[in-house]
Amino acid sequence: MTLPNKSKKPPRFYFWRKTLSLSDLNVPRRSKIAIDALRTLSLIPSFLGFLYNSRQALHVPLRDAGGALILQSSQVDYVVASIWCALAGYWNWVLTTSMMRRWIFHYEMSSAIVRLITFIVITWSISAYVNSHNGPDQPIRTWMVNCFIILITDVIRLSIVSDPKYHGKSTHVTDPNLFLKLTVMKVLIYPMSVATCLSVFAVLRQIDQLQYTTSQLMAGAPLLNTAVSLPHATTTSVLILIISSWSSGSFERRNMLRKSALRLLSAHGTLVTVNYRFVLGKPPSATDQLFTTPKIIKESETFRDMIIVQSSDIELDKSRKVFEALRWAKSVDHDYIVKSDDNVFARWDIILQEISVMKKTPYYWKGLTYR
């Protein structure tokens, strides 16, 4: 006589049929919207931190008006903090989902939801305490501490309550230890490695460039070809400042201007004394200082038409570079100062002709650029 097969007792929820992904939570349709909304609330601290750090990263150049000694966090600091915010949000989402799976496996749905709400309130409170304790000028440390707390919590959760049964019926992973190792690698090790590598590259870039982009800490006289020919008493003297940079593109533009527009300076006759200089800032990075400086020095010795002012050479500090160039121009005493850029072709013969027939008027200004 054949006895009927006794089926195993089904889990509390009949819909548990498959292996769930890290972000999947298979619950009845009537509860899915409420639980997904609650899980989304766990991302609010990380989302607000990411939004704050992103906005601060965009406004650091405007906030730097007070000087480099006042600035506490650089743009790179806020970018790195945003990376750790994203990692904290991911870990928080996975942790909340994993805990919710265990709760709905052992408890009624209403009890699981109460535990989920309590867990979210606790994570909010911890995040708020860490943010208030470190302050707004320590974005990297704030979110690294948040990630460290979530990491410890997740490690404890994996070592104590991790079980393949909470992820549905798994036919591929039968060894709990192997399942635990795969989960640790997928959830913790790989994301943390990516965030750490990005942070290291960003910080190394900041170390390479920060000391070369802080104009407020740069002092001293301009370098290279600062000596200019003295004007005659009977002529009008003009000093032309052409704003350039250390980039290879600027090197090509300087040579192009020497072969074209600057040749028109010889057509002004004897009524105007002209000097011109290409204006560069300090080297924008340690790499440029090491490899590009010999090229700049060789170019300066060849053409005798370049100066390096005490200012950062990056595009955001261009106004500072112009200011330092004008300060130097005032010290060499010319009747007129003309400012241009290395990407502008100027008809210097016409400009000098207009200047030669003008009366010397104090504080005279004229400017026009076609773009």
Residue 291's CB: how many other CB atoms inside 10 A? 11
What phi and psi values does residue 341 have, to the nearest 5 degrees? -125, 160
Length of the chain: 371
- State the pLDDT at residue 175: 56
What does the pLDDT look like over 152-162, one tens digit per residue? Answer: 888 888 777 65
- Indicate the pairing of strand 306-308 with strand 223-224: antiparallel
Q: Please provide the average confidence, as pLDDT, over all residues in the chain.
A: 78
What does the pLDDT look like over 241-261, one tens digit per residue? Answer: 999 999 888 899 999 999 998
What does the pLDDT look like over 35-52, one tens digit per residue? Answer: 778 888 888 888 888 898
pTM above 0.85, yes or no: no
Does the pLDDT of residue 311 top 60, yes or no?
yes
Does the pLDDT of residue 322 top 80, yes or no?
yes
**Contacts of 122 by beta carbon, 8 Å cutoff, 6+ apart:** none
Amino acid at 231: P
Cα separation of 349 and 353, whole Å? Answer: 6
- State the pLDDT at residue 277: 92
**Contacts of 68 by beta carbon, 8 Å cutoff, 6+ apart:** 214, 215, 216, 217
**177-188 b/e (C-beta count within 10 Å ≥ 16 → b):** eebbeebbeebb
Confidence of residue 235 (pLDDT cuts 50, 70, 90): confident
Confidence of residue 66 (pLDDT cuts 50, 70, 90): very low
- State the pLDDT at residue 264: 87
What does the pLDDT look like over 263-305, one tens digit per residue? Answer: 888 866 667 888 899 999 888 877 788 888 889 999 999 999 9
Amino acid at 48: L
Confidence of residue 212 (pLDDT cuts 50, 70, 90): low
Q: Dig out the tokens for 356 from the structure.
A: 């030669």
Asked if 38 and 293 count as a contact pair (C-beta separation under 8 A), the reply is: no
Does the pLDDT of residue 172 top 80, yes or no?
no
Does the pLDDT of residue 182 top 80, yes or no?
no
Does the pLDDT of residue 18 top 50, yes or no?
no
Confidence of residue 25 (pLDDT cuts 50, 70, 90): low
Q: Where are the domains of the chain?
A: 29-212, 217-357
